[in-house]
């Protein structure tokens, strides 16, 4: 490790100490990290399994397990093998209603958390969330516009995804035309684009029919998985996985992007290229998530902080653990949304109720530690 640090050319004063500190912290924490990496997947799968039991229609744990195992067995045997012993209603509830919703909640929680952690790393700001560059507000405008034009559920998801991509694309173009610092220009462009699409959404709501369209737009913007079907999960799955893979492969380079830009360049890191790859990947994940769930806040902001609190600042651990924590958190919130009231509460409301107090606690705790 010492040899590695000393061979870095043209490093600013104090750089060796910082790199040595990072590497030492990573090496010292690996044993506890391995334990945590074993516990988190187990916790996720337990919550995932228990989520099949949550709902107004009672299904026993054994029956739910048999139905899922039967479907897996039938898939791999090309339909030649299957099990029986349950009613058609139970199978419809588990396979057509609960499984797509539970799978979507897991996928969206993981995607938003990894996007948030990645943005916080490349922008070196713990207050950054996945909607920094306008992906969420662009997606919200796209969905509202599709509802206004009378589109179906798939049309709404497609419009939402497309406008989320367009919003970030516009922010990047504006930032490239700017002559100020690239990171600052990206943030300012993102704020401007977000404001523009937010105004567009307000205009669409003003034009919408107050009997049907306006309530639909308002409910969609609050976030929900109540209407998610298997085709919606598949629609979001591919862009999210397509964005997740590059970020996980580049996670050790994101560690270096948390340093000063000049220091990262001195280590041979192509800062602008890596940053753009992370932005594109995070945008795919955020737009894919918002397209089927609506706007769900706080997940991408709070969960990465929890991950760093438990596993430290090494992104080799922060990103995968953020994905597991985010997926588990979203499953728990979605379960609460289904059982806390007879009328299902939108996810955006619940994540705000949970996320805001937790984030305030983290701020207060951080302030005490510094004192």
Separation between Cα atoms, residue 356 and residue 302, nearest integer Å:
8
Q: Which of 52-61, 192-201, 326-335 has the lowest mean pLDDT?
A: 52-61
Q: What is the CATH number of the domain that holds 241?
A: 1.10.3470.10
Mean pLDDT over residues 244-272, rounded?
80
pLDDT of residue 103: 94
Separation between Cα atoms, residue 119 and residue 175, nearest integer Å:
16
Q: For residues 303 and 285, is the Cβ–Cβ distance under 8 A?
A: no
Label residue 19 by pLDDT band (50, 70, 90). very low
Label residue 2 by pLDDT band (50, 70, 90). very low
Task: Report the mean per-residue pLDDT for the chain.
Answer: 82
pLDDT digits (tens, 9 = 90+) for 57-110: 878 778 888 888 887 777 676 655 566 677 778 888 888 889 999 999 999 999
pLDDT of residue 188: 87
Separation between Cα atoms, residue 136 and residue 197, nearest integer Å:
9
Q: How many CB atoms lie within 10 A of CB 259?
A: 19
Cα three-residue angle 155-148-290, rounded to 5 degrees: 50
- Could you tell me how many residues make up the chain? 371
pLDDT of residue 7: 37
Separation between Cα atoms, residue 197 and residue 204, nearest integer Å:
10
Separation between Cα atoms, residue 287 and residue 282, nearest integer Å:
8
- Checking if the pLDDT of 11 tops 80, the result is no
DSSP, residue by residue, 20-32: HHHHHHHHHTHHH
- Owner of token pair 């067995």: 73
Label residue 227 by pLDDT band (50, 70, 90). confident
Higher pLDDT, 27 or 346: 346
- Checking if the pLDDT of 243 tops 90, the result is yes
pLDDT digits (tens, 9 = 90+) for 123-164: 877 777 888 888 889 999 999 999 999 888 788 889 999 999
pLDDT of residue 366: 59
- Checking if the pLDDT of 17 tops 60, the result is no
pLDDT of residue 185: 84
Separation between Cα atoms, residue 305 and residue 309, nearest integer Å:
6
Mean pLDDT over residues 15-32, rounded?
49
Mean pLDDT over residues 316-328, rounded?
92
Using alpha carbons, select from 350, 330, 337 the residue that is nearest to residue 44.
330
pLDDT of residue 334: 93
Separation between Cα atoms, residue 115 and residue 284, nearest integer Å:
9
Q: Which of 24-38, 58-72, 340-354 has the lowest mean pLDDT?
A: 24-38
Q: Which of 12-16, 76-80, 317-321 has the lowest mean pLDDT?
A: 12-16
Separation between Cα atoms, residue 256 and residue 242, nearest integer Å:
23
Separation between Cα atoms, residue 60 and residue 49, nearest integer Å:
11
Range of the domain at 357: 2-370
Separation between Cα atoms, residue 346 and residue 308, nearest integer Å:
28
Query: What's the total number of domains in the chain?
Result: 1
Percent of the chain predicted with pLDDT > 70: 84
């Amino acid at each position: 490790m010492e040899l590695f640090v000393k061979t870095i050319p043209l490093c600013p004063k104090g750089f060796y100490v910082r790199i040595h500190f990072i590497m030492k912290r990573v090496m010292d924490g690996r044993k506890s990290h391995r334990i945590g990496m074993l516990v988190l997947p187990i916790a996720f799968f337990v919550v995932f399994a228990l989520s099949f039991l949550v709902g107004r229609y009672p299904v026993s744990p054994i029956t739910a397990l048999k139905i899922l195992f039967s479907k897996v067995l039938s898939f791999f045997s090309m339909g030649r093998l299957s099990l029986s012993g349950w009613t058609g209603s139970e199978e419809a509830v588990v396979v057509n209603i609960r499984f797509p919703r539970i799978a979507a909640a897991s996928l969206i929680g993981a995607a938003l958390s990894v996007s948030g952690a990645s943005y916080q790393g490349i922008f070196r700001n713990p207050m950054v969330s996945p909607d920094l560059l306008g992906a969420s507000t662009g997606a919200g405008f796209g969905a509202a516009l599709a509802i206004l034009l009378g589109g179906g559920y798939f049309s709404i998801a497609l419009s939402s995804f497309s406008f989320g991509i367009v919003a970030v694309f516009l922010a990047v173009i504006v930032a490239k035309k700017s002559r100020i610092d690239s990171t600052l220009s990206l943030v300012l462009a993102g704020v401007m684009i977000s404001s523009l699409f937010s105004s567009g959404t307000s205009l669409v709501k003003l034009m919408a029919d107050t009997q049907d369209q306006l309530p639909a737009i308002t409910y969609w913007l609050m976030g929900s998985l109540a209407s998610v079907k298997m085709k919606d999960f598949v629609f979001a799955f591919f862009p999210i996985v397509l964005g997740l893979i590059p970020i996980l492969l580049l996670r050790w380079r994101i560690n270096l992007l948390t340093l000063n830009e000049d220091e990262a360049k001195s280590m041979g890191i192509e800062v602008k290229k890596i940053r753009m790859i992370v932005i594109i990947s995070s945008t795919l994940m955020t737009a894919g998530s918002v397209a089927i769930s609506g706007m769900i806040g706080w997940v991408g902001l709070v969960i990465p902080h929890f991950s760093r609190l438990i596993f430290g600042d090494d992104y080799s651990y922060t990103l995968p653990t953020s994905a597991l924590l985010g997926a588990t958190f979203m499953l728990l919130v979605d379960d609460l949304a289904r059982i806390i009231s007879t009328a299902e509460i939108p996810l955006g409301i619940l994540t705000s109720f949970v996320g805001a107090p937790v984030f305030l606690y983290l701020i207060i705790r951080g302030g005490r530690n510094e004192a």
